[in-house]
Amino acid sequence: MTRTLALAAAVVAASQFTLFAQQQAQGRGGRAGGAPAEDNFPSAEQFANSKEAQAHVAAATKIGGSDMADTAKWFCTNTGPQRVALARQAQGLPRLPTVQEGPIKLFDNLTYIGFNDVGAWVVPTSAGIILFDTLNSTADAMNVIEPEMQKAGFDPAQIKYILIGHGHADHFGGANYLQMKYHAKVLAAMPDWAAIQRGGRGNAAPGLMPEMDVTDGQKLTLGDTTVTLIRLPGHTPGTIGMVVPAKFGGRTHNVAIMSGTQMPTQDSLDAFKHVFNDELKKLNVETFLGSHPDILMNSLMLMESIRDTYPAGSHPLLLAKNKADRYMDIMLECARARLAAQGRLTS
């Protein structure tokens, strides 16, 4: 437990830097016109005192039943699950150090690289590598992404596509370096292009120009692997996700990587509802992974246990169809509760 506590503590530190970088990026930023606003939460009091909000919390609790009661509790707060660092900051707790966690092979063809606070995802295919996110900076690309990829047996020169989860520096910081060095094609959703081009603080490489838009439902094929890209506007207007056909136990399991879970407006909620109901449920997505651990299914503790012992029998991240679908329904109900608490839920 000591180790776990130390790591949990460590999670926070990294994020202080990241949060600052994000605030910088947002502060300089201007938001794309008409796109959903960025994170915007009701207060704890508004959330607790709104009858309408609490009706949605009750609905989420009902969906959770006895087997997913914890999931409903996890998502149905006035902010929803937040990065450990933000939660600690809100509680006035001190910053903690960044710990390098990767590489962690979570599935046969999906490896997490990076830190306790933020990571990137490597998807090897028969014709090269798809990389989702790039950590904070050029330094991270050189000191973490390249060596961790090599340690996991991947050649960074094989990176063909770089997907940027959204336009904050902790996701695009290393992209410019990798784009230049390996001539990888960079994809990001257009509403976040301006933020990406402005760059982050320090050496987050301003001037990176994405080369391809990401549209909702878009298929991206590299060799024997086709990933499905999804648009999840809310945390930023151009937040995206990726469904990966992950291999484990001789079977393929669709897993969703989501770069943001916030639904701060009705439009944002509608976009998530469409993605969940019309795309992810139909693809039989079996788990939900965040680029920041400890928000979705990939808790730091679970990832470390998989790193230490790759699962043999059942995979601890995979949910049965019924549970995976309810996981998404709970997220939507809790988002409705937050909007209702602000008087902004219209349907």
Using CB under 5 A as the criterion, which residues of the chain lie in contact with Zn ion when the complex forms? 168
* Nearest-approach distance from CB 25 to Zn ion, in angstroms: 8
Of 95, 148, 154, which Cα lies nearest the Cα of 130? 154
Cβ closest to Zn ion, residue 168 vs residue 253? 168
Cβ closest to Zn ion, residue 229 vs residue 258? 258
Q: Which two tokens stand for residue 121?
A: 């995802």
Of 251, 226, 225, which Cα lies nearest the Cα of 126? 225
Q: What is the dihedral of CA 328, 331, 337, 340, to 10 degrees?
A: -70
CA–CA gap between residue 94 and residue 85 (Å, rounded): 9
* Nearest-approach distance from CB 14 to Zn ion, in angstroms: 13
Cβ closest to Zn ion, residue 38 vs residue 146? 38
Cβ closest to Zn ion, residue 199 vs residue 245? 199
* Nearest-approach distance from CB 125 to Zn ion, in angstroms: 27
| Helix residue ranges per DSSP H, 236-311 | 266-274, 300-308
* Nearest-approach distance from CB 22 to Zn ion, in angstroms: 5
In 3-state terms the chain splits into helix, strand, coil percentages (rounded to 5) of: 40, 20, 40
Cβ closest to Zn ion, residue 63 vs residue 240? 240
Cβ closest to Zn ion, residue 220 vs residue 258? 258
* Nearest-approach distance from CB 166 to Zn ion, in angstroms: 6
Inter-axis angle of helices 2-29 and 300-308, to 10 degrees? 120
* Nearest-approach distance from CB 300 to Zn ion, in angstroms: 18
Of 295, 317, 255, 239, which Cα lies nearest the Cα of 15? 295
